[in-house]
Amino acid sequence: MMQLFDSVCTECSKNVTTSYSTSFSMGIKAFDKSFRKPIYNIYGFVRFADEIVDTFHNHDKRELLDKFEKDTYEAIDRKISLNPILHSFQLVVNKYKIDKELIRAFIHSMRMDLTKSFYGEEEYKEYIYGSAEVVGLMCLRVFCQNDAQEFDKLKPYACSLGSAFQKINFLRDMKSDYEERGRTYFPHIDYLSFSNNDKSQIEADIKKDFDHAFIGIQLLPKGVKFGVYLAYIYYTNLFTKISNSTAKAVVNERIRVRNRRKIYLLATSAIKNELNLI
């Protein structure tokens, strides 16, 4: 019956993933079956933590996050939780030996969102590491299946990909982050006077991350390479749309890739994968 409980909890994390992210859901479905459940379980955990700081405005967010963190470590240590998201997460942490330092860094970045409105250069790097890069590293632990040498080799590329994704999210969500949450993530950038030059400098930084990350994607195990590549393609397409837009458009609307376009990208990427062109 424990196997049934584990399965029900994982299904909850899968539902969270498919409800919140079309892009990542499609990417996960492109993994070999053995990799899907653990990645759903990681995404469910990070999504719920993010919801605490971004959505629960009528509640004590700090108290909720503190309890969520405490319950997370308790679930990992006890290897069980009646919170299905935390139970499914601890299954992955314990099986793939995910370092608690990665979890602590992630929660720290979520906690920064409770107090920070503007970020300096070092705080910006610290936030991106904790909110995005460590999530990529958690997934990489799964991809490498406890092969420490492989993990160390691919770690820098995973960090670059997580960094690129997060910076694009910052650009895409500039309007809502500023108007709804009072946040500006990019250092030395004034939302009210955001210029095309500011945007170009940020985009140049993102391109470096993407170029470096792509090297690592080509080195990934076969069972996950296509799925990660697909997420990369979705985000590079979003990046292209943002790059072709003006700074004024970026701060006034949420630029996105339509679902029809995502389906097209899925099909063309699948062909490339079949032809070993990735």
Domain boundaries, the chain: 2-274
- pLDDT tens digits, 133-163: 999 999 999 999 989 999 999 999 999 999 9
Measure the CA–CA gap between 31 and 241, rounded to whole angstroms: 26
Contacts of 231 (CB under 8 A, 6+ apart): 23, 24, 27, 165
- Cross-strand partners of 184: 118
Does pLDDT of 272 surpass 90? no
Compute the average pLDDT of residues 71-90.
Answer: 98
**pLDDT at residue 274, as a whole number:** 75
Residue of 82, 69, 88, 75 lying closest to 16 (CA atoms)? 88
Taking a C-beta distance cutoff of 8 angstroms, is the pair 140, 154 a contact?
Answer: yes
Among the CATH numbers 3.90.79.10, 1.10.600.10, 3.30.530.20, 1.20.200.10, which is that of 2-274?
A: 1.10.600.10
- pLDDT tens digits, 14-64: 999 999 987 778 889 999 999 999 999 999 999 999 999 999 999 999 999
Distances (CA, A) of 267 to 107, 239, 262: 36, 19, 9
Residue of 277, 158, 143 lying closest to 212 (CA atoms)? 158
**pLDDT at residue 21, as a whole number:** 84
**pLDDT at residue 26, as a whole number:** 80
Compute the average pLDDT of residues 255-272.
Answer: 84
